[in-house]
Amino acid sequence: MSGACTTLVDDGVIRGVIATVDCQTRAYAQGGYIALTSGSPVFQALLTALLSIFVALIGYRMLFARGDTRLSDAPWIALRIGLILALVTSWSTFQTLVFDVADRAPVEIAAIASAPLQGSSGSSLAARPVDGLQAAYEELTQTAIAYGRVAGQDAKSYSSPQAAAAEAVGLATGVLFFSSAGVISASKLTIGVLTAVGPLFIVLALIEATRGLFVGWVRAMVAAALTTLVTWLLVVLMLTVLDPWLTTLADQRRGQALDPQTAISAAALIFVFGAGQMALTLGAIVMAMSFRLPTLGSSRDSDGRTAGATAARGDPTSALPQPSRAERLAYELQRDTAQSETRSRAAAMAAATSPGRQTSLVFEDRPRLGDTYRRPVVSARRVEAAR
């Protein structure tokens, strides 16, 4: 444990866990990033190799007109290379664009979204969520102990309402911890580990064959960030709902007038919010899986869209290889030549039927662009008749 994080020990269970995980995760993410990008010759060799392969592929596609890469895409290609180099060579840039967005932005967004609940609560538990969680955890723990003392030896046999209340409140204490501090800490740890190895996946975004790994990395980061966001939102709502119940439990405990129904109802509310937390976490994962990386040139390639739609419908002809840009250009030239000859033939036939002119039709053997054979083409030679 680093020296900056040792002061967080014995600061309460929930408060200490959240603060310690946050501190250690930030230190680990920064140290892992620097060690990978600056102290690893393997990573430097990988970066150089992938950049060389990427530039060679771009040059090959432009030189032989393969794929959809065009000269007009050069600014976007240069921008992409520059962005990747900036992210894998500067921790301050990576921290601002990646780590802070995934780690701090969800907390700030949750604070803004839950401001009406926090403002209307005054000095309630929701005004300061971390301290509120710690206070709720301590109150539930003391309440469970109090009901356990009252129940005496019947605490394990459920033979009295006090024993059932003690068991329910004790279980609710664990649910409260794992559905709040546990989920938040797990998402922070995920962000920290993915940040430490992030440069490796960012470099893999250069090559199309490995770009799927980069997309998966981004989805994992988004899922962790969304989980943090929805957890803090649910925590504020839960503290707002539980505040009067916990106040009643505290008054009953201090007045030695324990009501098992109040304790069981408060525990049931915590169980409901725990189930809601599970549903929101699954929802965050589903939302993160919808991330798609746009493909360069996909908006202008109508043939590619048509082929993709045909493949989605299960057409067996979709497995046929698609023509390259050079082949499509040759086909367009062949079609234009054929249309021009058709118009010339029609004009010649019209001139042959005009009065006062004599036209002889001659068959010529003229090659056509793209033809693998020769076929006779009718041409017209107009001879002015002597009058």
pLDDT of res. 140: 92
What's the rounded Cα separation, in Å, for the pair 106 and 117? Answer: 17
Identify the CA nearest to 191 among candidates 230, 233, 223, 235. Answer: 223
What's the rounded Cα separation, in Å, for the pair 169 and 304? Answer: 60
Instruction: Quickly count: other Cβ atoms within 10 Å of residue 264's Cβ.
Output: 18
Predicted confidence pLDDT, tens digits, the chain (387 residues): 455 666 555 678 898 899 999 989 999 999 999 998 887 788 888 888 888 888 888 777 777 766 666 767 778 888 888 888 889 888 999 999 999 999 999 999 998 988 877 665 555 788 888 989 999 999 999 988 888 888 775 545 556 788 888 889 999 999 999 999 999 999 999 999 999 999 989 988 888 888 889 999 999 999 999 999 999 999 999 999 999 999 999 998 888 888 889 999 999 999 999 999 999 999 999 999 988 876 644 444 444 444 444 444 555 544 455 666 666 767 777 777 877 788 777 777 777 776 555 544 444 445 444 444 444 444 444 444 444
pLDDT of res. 126: 80
pLDDT of res. 295: 60
What's the rounded Cα separation, in Å, for the pair 327 and 295? Answer: 22
pLDDT of res. 343: 79
pLDDT of res. 302: 42
pLDDT of res. 372: 46
Half-sphere exposure of 373 (CA within 13 A, CB side): 2
Q: Report the predicted TM-score, pTM, of the whole model to 2 decimal places.
A: 0.71
CB 283 within 8 A of CB 222: no
What's the rounded Cα separation, in Å, for the pair 43 and 199? Answer: 9
- What is the full DSSP assignment across 181-205? IIHHHHHHHHHHHHHHTHHHHHHHT
